[in-house]
Chains A and B, each alone.
Chain A
């Protein structure tokens, strides 16, 4: 079926505004992951979901970041009061189940630019 999709593909916002990034995992995938890719930090893990619950939120960089997943499918990553250091590509991935051996399939990412 279709792969992981993310929207928008690009987002430009002003400092201090809130943004929402959306991820549609592969149908039937129960595990979902958010990563951030920036020039200075490389690829950083943010949060993952098993179904609708997020057992590990340790990667979220600040309390301005939050994520939710409803119906075991779509997930949104929300960044409140955006800062310039939030500029990055936000990648979403999903896997069939939460098992280390299971392949994570990535979406094309959302490029966020904070002016």
Chain B
């Protein structure tokens, strides 16, 4: 079974600084997708960034970037120039490329607090 592990239950960072959230996963598949979702106190899950496993280039979205290490099965999220609005739970998620399993498999989450 596929598992996603986020080893940091809570983290904090000063506004304008950089923070990295860790995620590791376990799978025997070669083709899959990885995601980082953000869940602010309002509960609405929002996609932050997505990575296709067949792409070697790390995905970036403005202040958010990932470090994808396929051999190590590692997928960390770097947030640059942290803002107060980045305060939220962050979930790492895995999804198969094909087959009958369409769901996302989530890690337990990391609670990030950005301090002024």
A-side residues, CB < 8 A to B, are 31, 33, 35, 42-43, 45, 48, 50, 55-56, 59, 89, 91, 93, 98, 100-101, 103-109, 111
Chain B residues within an 8 Å CB radius of A93: 45
B71-114 CB contacts (< 8 Å) to partner A: 91, 95-98, 100-109
Q: Among B98, B100, B104, which residue has its beta carbon within 8 angstroms of that of A104?
A: B104
**Contact residues of B with A, CB < 8 Å?**
32-33, 37, 42-47, 50, 52, 91, 95-98, 100-109
Quick one: closest A residue to B103, CB to CB? A45
26 contacts between A and B (CB under 8 A): A33-B103, A33-B104, A35-B104, A42-B107, A42-B108, A43-B104, A43-B106, A45-B104, A50-B102, A56-B101, A56-B102, A91-B43, A91-B45, A98-B102, A100-B32, A100-B33, A100-B97, A100-B98, A101-B33, A101-B52, A103-B47, A104-B104, A106-B46, A108-B43, A109-B44, A111-B43
